[in-house]
Structure 1
Amino acid sequence: MKHSISKIIITAIIGLSVIAPIATFATYYTNSQDEKSTNFEMNILKTIDDENMYKHIKSLSKTPRVAGTEQEDAAVDYIKKQFDSYGYKTEVQTFTFNDYTAPHTIELTLDGFLHIVDPSALEYSVSGHVVGEVVVGGLGKANELQHLDLTGKIVLLKRGDISFKEKMLNAANKGAVGVIYYNNAPGMIMGSLGEANHSFIPAVLLTQAEGEKMVKQVNKNPDTQASLTIEGAKSNTNKSHNVIATKKPSNLNSKTKAKHDIIVIGAHHDSVANAPGANDNASGTAMTLELARVFKTIPSDTEIRFITFGAEELGLIGSNHYVNQLSPNEIDRMVANFNLDMVGSKDAGKLILQTMDDKPNLVTELTQVASTKLNGEPTPVNQGDSSDHVPFAKAGIPAALFIHNPAEPWYHKPEDKIDKISKAKLQDVAEIVTLAIMNQTRVEHYAK
């Protein structure tokens, strides 16, 4: 639990009222101070420039920015130059990740099997060509396989109970040369082995119907042979980057200097393949840049870190790396993470906040006070755990995702271009976040 004075003050304000925030501010300020504070806030909000954000989005979304590519590197350079131009000493934090290329060829045949199958590869399936007798191995648990002779054979395994990876390693340790998985429920499924591993053997995934027919065929015809081919799959180590600009707190004395609060404003800068990612997530990146520009000259008692994360689309890799390298002291002082992801599409729905556990926290409370003051109603909160706020939340840091819901029809598609961006939505979200952070960082007393 964080014990900063500023957090205690704002929490008390929120506890008094969400419906009438201006009135509750009067419990802390005199009428004169309240008026000066409100005027100061409005003057700061007027400095937010939606045209700046639009221009950043236009520059960033000319091509897809897939993590580990030259296009992502160019985006990192662009972001760093913008932070530098505002006067920040910018850090580019490099990290590595396993980059997987899916196979271009997948073939599976079974002697005497007349049904047509359409096998798919799992993420991190390895390339190879194997031929061998097919053995039914149940769920692939170690105790199920211990009495089976799998040496040089292809094992047929049902999904469930344990991970695909554990099933794979159990089979490989028994000498199997290939694995055929099948679903334990109707419908299609995407499978992953979790990570690259030198012990993996070629593996494919079938539907429940395909797998059950194959089990019947093998049980009726022992010694049935299968041929399994996977080509083009490969895993390699790649690099991505986080870009970090830090605004140090102002007017701290020797007692508070080492204990000041930290707020993180962040967004991921990478996109998926074949999508220029104007909204996902050049919009959040552009807003992070604009907020860094706006806050640069505003004195406060709180440190603010502006961060764009790499490899979010590959599994929140950049934000996980960042949180994992924080010191215990930094984590203890980190009071809020404002995560901006897909905040500018004119074709998406209304602004919402998402927390990992569907519970309110300091970020949602501050934001609801700000949105009520600016728009007359609090931004709604629901559950969401698929963006860069998650690593912060898992570390015990109050965190929330800012996103519009429902998502636009062009989500993760080539149509996610600059012409789909709404300047009005950019301005709205940026103002809400700015006011929320100003309330937490105690900038009001500088307006006296």
Structure 2
Amino acid sequence: MKKKSFVPLLVAASLTLGIPAAYAKETHTPAAQSQQAFDNKIVKRIKVENIYRDITILSSEPRVAGTESEWNAVQYIEAKFASNGYKTDIQPFTFESYQAPNVGVTVADTSVSSDSITYTPNGEASGELVYVRLGTAADFEGKDLTGKIALIKRGDISFSEKVLNASAAGASAVLIFNNSPGALSGTLGAPNNDFVPAIALSQADGEKLAADLEAGQAISATVSVTGGGIQEKTSHNVVAVKEPSQQKKATNQIVIVGAHHDSVPGAPGANDDASGVGVSLELARVMSNMPTDTELRFVTFGAEELGLLGSYAYVDSLSQDERDRVVGMFQMDMVGSRDAGELVMFTVDGQKNIVTDLSAAAGVRTGTPLTYGQEGRSDHVPFHYAGIPAALFIHDPVEPWYHTPEDSIDKISKEKLHETAEIVGAAVYHIVRPDTPALEKAKVAPKPVEYEKVVGGLQ
């Protein structure tokens, strides 16, 4: 994704239950000291080495949704939650995934380097190669390509339009070459029965073929696309539940802490998002024996990288009663990179809520004041649209190793992991501990503090 900036907003105000306003100098007040005592029940128990160890194990291989490696991660995470006394559930869900095909192009008995185009149909074709420029409808006007292969340059219209225009003209296959140096990675957007096999070529190879054709040479080609197509796969969410330990004082409320356990192909995903999972596992351990009057759920989501599929599946599984009872969702995504920016809270609509309020107050008490801004593109999104207060915790701007093979354990900062664990842990415990007044009675301080602009965003 392209890097984008966001308009900074005021830092979230603290609740009067903790400190009256988000100023570090006020942490000496009796109310603040009392709240810090409760914070210490959590923060002093956090062992960052546990988090680091879990990230090391989880990032030993990519955890692509629907693969055996993701399932291995799911089993590891579930076992860790269960070992700390949580009631666990592995929630499966299915999704459709495109399986990239094997492709080959031969021109005049010589193999040409090529790449697949997503959603191309399988098939083989041999025939005369015809250069059709950008492959627009006008470029095909008056041309009969029956039994021939279209050579088309990238640009002006979508790949799918180029292939459909070629198919309508009778072409049996399409070669699309890049309009800039290097290999071409393209997609047709979605399956279509009117497509013919399509393969991508580099700019250099495509321009050479186009020049030879325009010079009058007759060139034949063979195209092969095999093994591609849509496959149904299964991913999983891991759900860990701690019922209120003090049932007589139970609030009937739910707090959810989330992270996603899948990664993109080829990336170990140490920061994205084994870091969030690692912090979740440690906070679950720390809170496992703490007295609580609120139901606490830790959820790690599958297939986040494919479009938040796991978190949407989880929210869809919640009854309306459960949705009404969830008072806050804390999503941690990419919270450990040494090369990323500062910790920021993001909400989908850019407005503060109970999650940002409590976390900003916790940040001041633990020595890390937070800003917040507007951003989607992580697992807090489905909760927001279900009417549940939710926020994303992420370092901004993200590290340069985002979605690359370099997102490895050696880039992880223990200090940043500890910082996030302290803030989220303190904020969550503020809700779930038994002596906290009902949240609906809490009052937000009227003068939140404005902090310096933060520039960056998810890429």
Partner of residue 389, structure 2:
398
Partner of residue 122, structure 1:
117
> In 2, distance between residues paired with 1:407 and 1:159?
31
User: Which of the residues 225, 229, 241 maps onto 1:230?
Assistant: 225
- State how 1:2-401 maps to structure 2 within 5 Å: 17-19=21-23, 31=30, 35-107=33-105, 120-131=115-126, 177-179=172-174, 190-195=185-190, 200-205=195-200, 227-249=222-244, 251=246, 257=252, 260=253, 262-378=254-370, 380-401=371-392
1:99–1:235: 8 Å Cα contact kept in structure 2?
Answer: yes
2:434 aligned with 1:430, yes or no? no
The SS at the match of 1:122 is strand
CA-CA distance at 1:355 after TM superposition: 3.6
> In 2, distance between residues paired with 1:96 and 1:244?
17
Deviations 1:254-282 (A, max 9, x none): 9964xx3x332111222334433332322
Distance 1:266 1:445, change over 3 A: closer
> In 2, distance between residues paired with 1:385 and 1:216?
46
1:263–1:334: 8 Å Cα contact kept in structure 2?
Answer: yes
1:40–1:444: 8 Å Cα contact kept in structure 2?
Answer: no
CA-CA distance at 1:287 after TM superposition: 0.9
CA RMSD of aligned residues (A): 4.6
CA-CA distance at 1:81 after TM superposition: 0.8
The SS at the match of 1:81 is helix
Distance 1:62 1:138, change over 3 A: closer
The SS at the match of 1:393 is helix
1:183–1:211: 8 Å Cα contact kept in structure 2?
Answer: yes
CA-CA distance at 1:76 after TM superposition: 1.3
Distance 1:238 1:132, change over 3 A: same
The SS at the match of 2:264 is coil
CA-CA distance at 1:139 after TM superposition: 8.0
CA-CA distance at 1:219 after TM superposition: 10
2:249–2:293: 8 Å Cα contact kept in structure 1?
Answer: no
Deviations 1:285-342 (A, max 9, x none): 1111111122223344433221112223333332232233333443344343322222
Distance 1:137 1:414, change over 3 A: closer
What is the percentage of aligned positions where both structures have the same residue?
47
Structure 1: gaps spanning 5 or more residues: 1-8, 111-115
TM-score normalised per structure 1: 0.74
> In 2, distance between residues paired with 1:150 and 1:15?
75
1:72–1:270: 8 Å Cα contact kept in structure 2?
Answer: yes
> In 1, distance between residues paired with 2:269 and 2:87?
27
Deviations 1:373-403 (A, max 9, x none): 211522x334444332333334443333322
2:19–2:26: 8 Å Cα contact kept in structure 1?
Answer: no
CA-CA distance at 1:72 after TM superposition: 2.0
CA-CA distance at 1:210 after TM superposition: 9.1
1:272–1:412: 8 Å Cα contact kept in structure 2?
Answer: yes
> In 2, distance between residues paired with 1:424 and 1:432?
12
The SS at the match of 1:313 is helix
State the structure with bigger RCO (CA 8 A, min sep 6), 1 or 2: 2
> In 2, distance between residues paired with 1:172 and 1:152?
10
1:107–1:230: 8 Å Cα contact kept in structure 2?
Answer: no
Distance 1:190 1:50, change over 3 A: same
> In 1, distance between residues paired with 2:70 and 2:330?
23
> In 1, distance between residues paired with 2:322 and 2:204?
52
CA-CA distance at 1:50 after TM superposition: 1.0
The worse-fitting range, judged by mean Cα deviation, of 241-250 and 158-167 is 158-167
CA-CA distance at 1:245 after TM superposition: 0.5
The SS at the match of 1:438 is helix
> In 1, distance between residues paired with 2:43 and 2:104?
55
The SS at the match of 2:363 is helix
Deviations 1:337-392 (A, max 9, x none): 322222223343332333444444433333222212211522x3344443323333
The SS at the match of 1:426 is helix
> In 1, distance between residues paired with 2:273 and 2:367?
25
> In 1, distance between residues paired with 2:182 and 2:405?
27
2:348–2:381: 8 Å Cα contact kept in structure 1?
Answer: yes
